[in-house]
Amino acid sequence: MNVQFKKGVLDLCVLSMLKNSDQYGYELANTLSEIIQISDGTVYPILRKLATDGMVTTYLQESQSGPPRKYYSLTGLGKKTLINLQQEWMTFSRSVNQIVGGDSK
């Protein structure tokens, strides 16, 4: 898929994935890379940026194997931003589909 397409919506995707449960980096990277074909490594800079912007917080949690895992959790600001981004995305994608999907008529 087009790189520029992905870049704009990755924040939205990551925030959406954290909506229902806290997740650690590997989970997020794995799910995201399977669905929209990005390389796993792309997720970490996004997570760091979201943390810097106050959208997510992190905490370490012990796991049964290996080192403690860093979990990411939505903040209040992150939840609000997610709602805004979701609405914007719905409106935007509907508009684009109207133009691009014009062959249905």
Partner 1 sequence: MTRQEYLSAIRKELSSLTESEVNDIVRDFDEHFEVGLSQGKTEHEISAELGDPVTVARTYFDDLEDVGHTMKESEEAAANGFAAGHAVPVIAPVSAGSDQTAGTAANPAPAGSAPQAATVKKDVSGARLFVVLFNVLLTWWVFLSIVGILLGFWAASIALLAGGIAAFIGIVAATGGWIAVLVLLGISGVTLGIGTGILNFFMTKWFVIGCKAYINWNIKLYNEGF
Nearer to partner 1, 35 or 101 (CB): 35
User: Where on the chain is the footprint of partner 1 (CB under 8 A)?
Assistant: 11, 24-26, 29, 33, 39-42, 44-45, 47-50, 52-53, 55, 65-67, 69-70, 77, 80-81, 84-85, 88
CB of residue 70 to partner 1, shortest distance in Å:
6
Both tokens of 34, joined, read: 């399977």
CB of residue 105 to partner 1, shortest distance in Å:
27
- Distance between CA atoms of residues 13 and 84, nearest Å: 13
Sheet with 23-24: list strands edge to edge: 23-24, 69-74, 56-61
Nearer to partner 1, 65 or 104 (CB): 65
CB of residue 71 to partner 1, shortest distance in Å:
11
Backbone angles phi, psi at 83, to 5 degrees: -60, -45
Matching residue, tokens 């990551």: 14
